[in-house]
Amino acid sequence: MDKSIEQFDKYIELKDVIVKSNGRIILNIPHAIIPADRITACIGPNGAGKTTLLKVLDGLIVPDSGSVSYSFDNNTALVLHHTPMIKASTKTNIAMIQDAYPLITSAEIDLVLERVGLSQLASSPAQKLSAGERQKLCLGRAILQKPNLVLLDEPTANLDPNTTEQVENIVRDLGADGSDVIFSSHQLAQVQRLAQYILFIDHGEIKEKGPAGPFFADPQTSAAKCYLHQELAE
């Protein structure tokens, strides 16, 4: 047995995964074991394939070849960076999840609105929400799915420091619901605050992975060293 499997209570295994777009390979993972039992950060340069990987893990993208298998009965929720709102209230937008999960009650929706800090905006037009409020709405919708794995694409991009802190606290609290997290981020300070495990992606390949502390203290690949040096020097 692969020793890397033994340390994870839940994991996702990718074998010979290739994803192409317009004839170009944008994800190429011969083999990887990705933990799904902790907060994992997916980092790397722009265009490295982070969002594509999250979509593959969610099942939104089916690889052109290869396989994705789960060691657990997966129920994932994917929150993308740009999620459109319909012309309706905040509560109506979050309640759209009832189309896929009809057993969710109005009372549960009210509780989640309170949890993510949107109760006072429940009747407000969703299209007038700030970027941070929209992100909280999307997180609330994910929480209502009661997932065991939440996939977040740049969850605090373009948010102010106060809202970023609020969103990070929601991410941490997901663990109390039994939901672990894999998220992408360009903010390395945030990754260091939140993540227990790192996936470093470059040119569509997972170049390095491992516990967050050792990764930041002593990256093992030249690609990771270069990336950290450039990002942390800014």
The per-residue pLDDT for range 193-224, each reduced to its tens digit, is: 999 999 999 999 999 999 999 999 999 999 99
Q: What is the pLDDT of residues 164-182, one digit of tens each?
A: 999 999 999 887 778 999 9
Q: What is the CATH number of the domain that holds 134?
A: 3.40.50.300
**pLDDT tens for each residue of 16-25:** 999 999 889 9
State pLDDT tens for residues 38-53: 999 999 999 899 999 9
pLDDT higher than threshold 70 for residue 3: no
**Predicted confidence (pLDDT) at residue 57 exceeds the cutoff of 90:** yes
Residue 157 in this model has a pLDDT that exceeds 90: no
For residue 87, the SS3 value is coil
Share of residues in the chain with pLDDT > 70 (%): 96
Expressed as residue numbers, the domain containing 93 is 3-233
Say if residues 151 and 76 touch (Cβ distance below 8 Å): yes
How far is residue 214's CA from residue 216's CA, in Å, rounded to a whole number?
6
Note the pLDDT of residue 233.
62
The model carries a pTM of 0.91
CA 205 to chain centre: 18
Residue 1 pLDDT exceeds 70: no
pLDDT tens digit string along 74-98? 999 999 877 788 999 999 999 999 9
Question: For 40-69, what is the mean pLDDT?
Answer: 95
Six-digit token pair at 109? 């929706």
Torsion sign, CA atoms 112, 118, 120, 126: negative
In 48-105, alpha helices (H): 50-58, 90-95
Residue in this structure with the two tokens 């997972």, named with its chain if needed: 206
pLDDT confidence of 138, banded at 50, 70, 90? Answer: very high
Fill in the DSSP letter of residue 81. Answer: S
How high is the pLDDT of residue 234? 54
Residue 67 pLDDT: 96
* Residue reference for tokens 């609330």: 140
- Mean pLDDT value across the chain: 91
User: What total of structural domains would you count in the chain?
Assistant: 1
